[in-house]
Amino acid sequence: MTIHREGYRSIAIGTIIFVLINTVSVNFLSTPFPLLGWLLLFVTLFILLFLISFFRIPNRALTIIDGQVIAPADGKVVVIEEVIDEEYFKEKRLQVSVFMSPANVHVNRNPISGEVVYNQYHKGKYLVAWHPKSSTENERHSIVIKNGSTEILVKQIAGALAKRIVNYLQVGQQVKQTEEMGFIKFGSRVDMLLPIGSKINVQLNQVVQGGVTVIATL
């Protein structure tokens, strides 16, 4: 397991705060209130370890298969339905959404290989990520990857806790399946808009692994 570069600053700040709080605790609380001092130590240590775990990148055997759509994120499948896409395709698409809790790995990965033909950031609200309108009203970053005649739109969507979406791709860039697409800090969801007729290989509420689980066959 390694730590994602997006976490370096947050972990450094968290470590400084941890040291400051417990230094004050040792000097002023440990003698008159020893139980409070120990409680503060355990609580702040738990928070620091959770922060570190949030930015983890586990070692995995990634799935690379042409013609398959690989999960762009860890989490739970919360939507499988046909929708009308008003942003890019202007027609009916098959939407599959993966909800990421704060405990999930938050690296986002390319579901297919191809060329980035669309990249757009949208300001918006911070509705809870499982809200039906979060896909169109929340802050989000949309990209479209084209492979041959197939195009897939992927949305990184902010949630009630997610306040920063990072996307590494640019229009015209050639990307490879399962390589890093971006990162979302502190819980959110990722939508994929697939061609109608795609064979879905997952079910609602199924837990998936980013870069590993096959979401659909094109």
Catalytic residue, chosen from 97, 134, 142, 188, is: 188
C-alpha R_g of the chain: 20
187: left (phi over 0), alpha (psi -120 to 50) or beta: left
Structure tokens at 173: 């860039």
Looking at the DSSP bridge assignments, the partners of residue 97 are 79, 191
**Which residues have a Cβ under 8 Å from the Cβ of 173 and sit 6 or more positions away?**
115, 116
Smallest Cα–Cα separation from 107: which of 3, 43, 169, 180?
180
Structure tokens at 181: 């697409």
Smallest Cα–Cα separation from 76: which of 216, 154, 188?
188
Known catalytic membership, residue 135? no
- Known catalytic residues? 188
